[in-house]
Amino acid sequence: MSQVPELGGEPGLFEERLAQWLVEQSFFRDFVYRNAKGKKKGDQLVDAIVLFGDVMLLVEVKAQIGSAQRDDWVRDRLTKAVSQIEKTYRILKDRKISKLVNDFYGELDFDPDRYPNVFGIVILAHNSEPYEAASLVPELSASPFPMHVFTLDDFRLIASRFDTAGDMITFLELRTDITNLVRLYVQDESGNIQHMLPQMRAVLGRYLSTNSPETLDKSYSSFTKKATGELLQSPDWKYGLVIDDIIARAHDVDPDLPWNQHGPDTAALEVSKFLGWLTRDRRINLGKKALEHCDLAKDGNDYYFYHFHPSRGTVFVFRASSESRHDRVAYLQYLVSYAQMKHGASSGLGVATEPIGDGRSYDFIVAHTYPPVEIIESIKRFGDPFSDNLKPL
């Protein structure tokens, strides 16, 4: 993430920067494009564009300066925000912009066809009694894609509870469906969540690949713990930071190395995207397991495990070993391919590191496609390396 913005500057600038920083809390800075420029000099599209997976978020921030009446100010600012988001969407969809600038990676190619799922997010920095946004600005209901309105304080709450890309996107999808069932009010997102929960079982069922009551109960419980903030109070929450740390460390580059002298390596984007889909509860479980394996590996043996994500068709392999980085990556490649074959996974990510001790380095294997036939035939000759979840070599 970027640095927390400091107070000051021209009116509204701090609120804009704070909202952009809060978006990074869920998506990291890899996928956030701040203050995207239009075709003409001086034109700005929206305050932030988020591109993650097949999802695009268009974010516009409006801060109240002065003492205008609530309804008058909301009608004026919210109407302009909706118009700006929809205008930006048309410009991007019509391919009038071919590149966007990320403050970490620089200028990157943009293809609108990669992001069929679009959400508009308006963040209003003002204080008032709760109100229903659509009753003041009917244009919200006529938008060609879901449009969500939050105050800055309410968005801060949402970003803290749904602090991964997978969680935030799921929340926006579910909130979109819920708007057809209950009234949601700006300035009261904690109350909105309480009104959403009784409807959530029925809505969640539409997204699950199985109608198993046990799966539905588990998904509902998981969502409830995150939505109410209960998960933030869990003593196990800290284990999720292991995955966050792996994402952050994927960006470590040595500028003195020849291959890093042209800017950050965009390979970190692939690692961030893969792990970004892991929800907070998955990160907690996997982070705890990763720490256990790093501790076990202090005995000189090799420890590893994998996680299969059925809804995404991906596998994640973690390996802790005292071998040289070259050797542990070589075997990691085999483990990733075997896990892909085991579940027919279209893609996979492998992470290798040292036992717990002085220092920490991570090496990555990213598989974008299913292993070729010759690799599959080769690894079939070996026994299943994952037959025992805690198997030392």
CA–CA distances in Å: residue 339 to residues 86, 288, 317: 43, 20, 8
SS3 49: strand
* CA angle in degrees (0–180, nearest 5) for 22-289-163: 10
Q: Which domains does the chain have, with CATH numbers?
A: 13-233 (3.40.91), 237-379 (no CATH)
pLDDT tier, 231 (very low <50, low <70, confident <90, very high otherwise): very high
Terminus-to-terminus CA distance in the chain, angstroms? Answer: 38
Taking 90 as the threshold, does the pLDDT of residue 263 lie above it?
A: no
- pLDDT reported for residue 277: 93
CA atoms within 13 A on the CB side of 9: 10
- pLDDT reported for residue 320: 95
SS3 365: strand
Q: What is the pTM of this model?
A: 0.90
With CA atoms as reference, report the closest residue to 392 among 308, 282, 245, 292.
Answer: 292
pLDDT tier, 253 (very low <50, low <70, confident <90, very high otherwise): low
Give me 319's structure tokens.
């390996």
12-56: per-residue pLDDT in tens?
889 999 999 999 999 989 999 999 998 887 788 999 999 999 999
Taking 50 as the threshold, does the pLDDT of residue 390 lie above it?
A: no
Taking a C-beta distance cutoff of 8 angstroms, is the pair 49, 36 a contact? yes
Taking 80 as the threshold, does the pLDDT of residue 260 lie above it?
A: no
- Tokens 């609530």 identify what position? 70
- pLDDT reported for residue 361: 85
Taking a C-beta distance cutoff of 8 angstroms, is the pair 381, 334 a contact? no
Q: Which residue has the higher pLDDT, 266 or 151?
A: 151
294: left (phi over 0), alpha (psi -120 to 50) or beta: alpha
Taking a C-beta distance cutoff of 8 angstroms, is the pair 55, 27 a contact? no
Q: What is the number of other CB atoms lying within 10 angstroms of the CB of residue 389?
A: 11
Percent of residues in the chain assigned helix, strand, coil, to nearest 5: 45, 20, 35
pLDDT tier, 256 (very low <50, low <70, confident <90, very high otherwise): low
- Alpha carbon distance 350, 319 (integer Å): 8
